[in-house]
Amino acid sequence: MKRLEGLSALISGGASGVGRATAHRFAQEGAARVTLFDKDASRIADVAAELAGIGTEPRTVVGDVANPPDCQRAVDEATRGDGRLDVLVSNAGADSIHDFLDLELDEWYRIMDINLTASFVLGQAAARAMVAAGNGGTILYTASISGVAASTGDAHYGVSKAGIISLVKTMAIELVGHNITVNCVSPGPLDTPMSLALLGSEEAMQAARESWPIVPMNRLGSPTEIAGTYAYLASADGAYTTGQNIVVDGGMTTNVFPLADELQ
Ligand SMILES: NC(=O)c1ccc[n+]([C@@H]2O[C@H](COP(=O)([O-])OP(=O)(O)OC[C@H]3O[C@@H](n4cnc5c(N)ncnc54)[C@H](O)[C@@H]3O)[C@@H](O)[C@H]2O)c1
């Protein structure tokens, strides 16, 4: 049984990593239409071709989530023709590593604009379209475990993701009367180009794939493991879940206290 049969979805950051894996998963689960919103014109075209190959209508919007008119353009394109938008996955994000003492204000604002302000702008535009269509809907965000626990060198990113976790709670309550659910997923470290950029080399990335002891599961997560969580939340199986932050992190934020190991 395909769980997302006939749905229209909009995915920001859909050209790579989590967004691309989610677009594929939604298409495999029967979505009728997936609109990709990303700044990367070349890779967005590649993913659109992949979706068409699975039998889903792809639409593309090349733009910047930090530019509010681009967010509205993305919602307009997703709803063009029949007004239908069932699922938003607001997933595009950016990160950079700076010690707190060296973090520049411009970089703070850059990360807030892409990760947090865009979450409000795109989420509001999508929610307005869902309310106008009158069919309810699902709004999903990619937060991060950096928004749950301290993450050294990442104060700006962590605050932006903690802001999403807060935004989700309020949106869930304000939109519940419109039959719209709102949730976020907080991944741990993933095997995506973003992590490659942060780790700095393919060698470091390969080492993290083979073993990363700070993660109890001792490995990077796959973007498909986040995509599967989104498919569940967007389906009827997730209908009673709203206002939640689902942590998918290989156990990294369990705060395990290894007492037994110490006593041996
Ligand atoms: N990779 C990780 O370890 C990790 C962990 C926790 C959370 N996340 C979050 O997951 C989400 C997806 O990241 P990913 O790992 O798939 O990275 P990725 O680099 O593979 O994909 C990010 C996509 O977002 C797009 N994008 C970035 N800034 C944009 C902008 N201003 N406007 C439009 N598009 C933009 C990029 O072009 C790219 O296609 C992000 O929100 C990220 O913060 C990632």
- Condensed to tens digits (0 to 9), the pLDDT of residues 177-195 reads 999 999 999 999 999 999 9
Question: If you average pLDDT over every residue of the chain, what do you get?
Answer: 96
On the question of pLDDT at 97 being above 80, the answer is yes
User: What confidence category does residue 1 fall into, taking pLDDT thresholds of 50, 70 and 90?
Assistant: confident
Q: Which residues are catalytic?
A: 144, 157, 161
Taking the centre of ligand 1 as the mean of its atom positions, its distance from the CA of residue 255, in whole angstroms, is 26
Q: What length is written for the chain?
A: 264
| Structure-block tokens of residue 90 | 């607001």
Mean pLDDT (whole number) for 68-81:
98
On the question of pLDDT at 258 being above 90, the answer is no
> How many degrees, rounded to 5, is the angle at CA 87 between CA 28 and CA 124?
155
- Cβ 19 under 6 angstroms from ligand 1: yes
Residue 255's pLDDT is what? 81
| Structure-block tokens of residue 146 | 């950096």
Ligand 1 atom, smallest distance to 161 CA: 43
Is 226:22 a contact under the CB 8 Å cutoff?
yes
Mean pLDDT (whole number) for 143-156:
96
Which helix (H) or strand (E) is 231 found in, with range?
A: helix 223-234
**Rounded to 10 degrees, what is the CA torsion of 58, 29, 187, 169?**
90
Segment 214-256, tens digit of pLDDT: 999 999 999 999 999 999 999 999 999 999 999 999 999 998 7
What residue owns the CA closest to ligand 1's atom 20? 17
Count the Cβ atoms, other than its own, within 10 Å of residue 170: 11
- Cβ 245 under 6 angstroms from ligand 1: no
* CA distances to 44, 116, 176 from 121, in Å: 21, 9, 19
- Cβ 64 under 6 angstroms from ligand 1: yes
What is the set of domains in the chain, with CATH numbers?
Answer: 8-187+222-248 (3.40.50.720)
Is 65:120 a contact under the CB 8 Å cutoff?
no
- How far is residue 176 CA from its own chain's centroid? 21
One-letter amino acid of 178: H
* CA distances to 9, 12, 19, 55, 232 from 22, in Å: 10, 10, 5, 15, 11
Query: What percent of the chain has pLDDT above 70?
Result: 100
Is 243:182 a contact under the CB 8 Å cutoff?
yes
Taking the centre of ligand 1 as the mean of its atom positions, its distance from the CA of residue 223, in whole angstroms, is 11
- Cβ 243 under 6 angstroms from ligand 1: no
On the question of pLDDT at 261 being above 90, the answer is no
Residue 263's pLDDT is what? 80
Is 229 exposed, middle or buried, given 0-12, 13-18 or 19+ CB atoms closer than 10 A? Answer: buried
Q: Are strands 57-62 and 33-38 parallel, antiparallel or unpaired?
A: parallel
- Cβ neighbours for 111, distance < 8 A, ≥ 6 positions apart: 94, 95, 96, 156, 157, 160
Tell me the pTM. 0.97
Query: What percent of the chain has pLDDT above 90?
Result: 93
Segment 30-68, tens digit of pLDDT: 999 999 999 999 999 999 999 999 999 999 999 999 999
Taking the centre of ligand 1 as the mean of its atom positions, its distance from the CA of residue 92, in whole angstroms, is 5
